[in-house]
Amino acid sequence: MMIKKRFCLVGAALAIFTLGFGAQQANAQSGQPRLVGTYGDWQAYVFFENSNKVCYMASQPQKKQGNYTKRGEPFALITHRPADNTRDVFSYVTGYSYKKDSQAEAVIDGSSFTLYTQDETAWGPDADTDRALVKAIREGSKMVVKGTSSRGTLTTDTLSLRGSGAAYDRISSECK
């Protein structure tokens, strides 16, 4: 059930990034994410899913490395779902399908986190890892995410964490 909800959020976020944030002014009540703030390199969003408020923050990498020919837009997300009593759920959408049964890695200012993968998304394996990841993101300056595509291509994405603390504070105030 949690994976299904994570995929719904990933789909909503993909729509925003694919449209170049063109859906920013969409009505959150209709299920479309609404931008509630930009903080440095991170954006905070709110939307409703089955009448339940969902808040998330998102950012895209400033640098993408890898010998790939076709790749969608990657981005990182942190999500709160108060109705499900979940907070601080980290996910990384990579823009390609991960190699089956592979793991990805997020390194934040020297702290390394192993992520499990499915299709185009990587997640922390449990709530404790998510909380530690989110704490590191809020307090850090740079995150590097490494993964391997289904074609065997190694990718390395570098994201700025500038503004992540303020974006987190905003989604936390929106979804108490």
Q: Kindly tell me if the per-residue pLDDT of 29 is higher than 90.
A: no
The pLDDT tens digits for 110-155 are 999 999 999 999 999 999 999 999 999 999 999 999 999 999 999 9
Average pLDDT over residues 61-78: 94
The answer on pLDDT for 56 being more than 80 is yes
**Contact (Cβ atoms closer than 8 angstroms) between residue 116 and residue 125:** yes
Q: Return the number of other C-beta atoms located less than 10 Å from residue 43's C-beta.
A: 25
Please give the class, per CATH, of domain 2-174. Answer: mainly beta
Considering only 65-74, 75-84, 98-107, 137-146, which range has the smallest mean pLDDT? 65-74
Indicate the average pLDDT of the chain. Answer: 88
Kindly indicate the confidence band of residue 31, based on its pLDDT and cuts at 50, 70 and 90. confident
Least Cα distance to 11 among 36, 35, 38, 32 occurs for 32
Asked if residue 174 has pLDDT above 70, the reply is yes
| pTM across the whole model | 0.84
Residue 59: partners with Cβ closer than 8 Å, 6 or more residues away: 41, 42, 43, 75, 76, 159, 160, 164
* Residue reference for tokens 């980290």: 90
Which residue has better confidence, 13 or 122?
Answer: 122
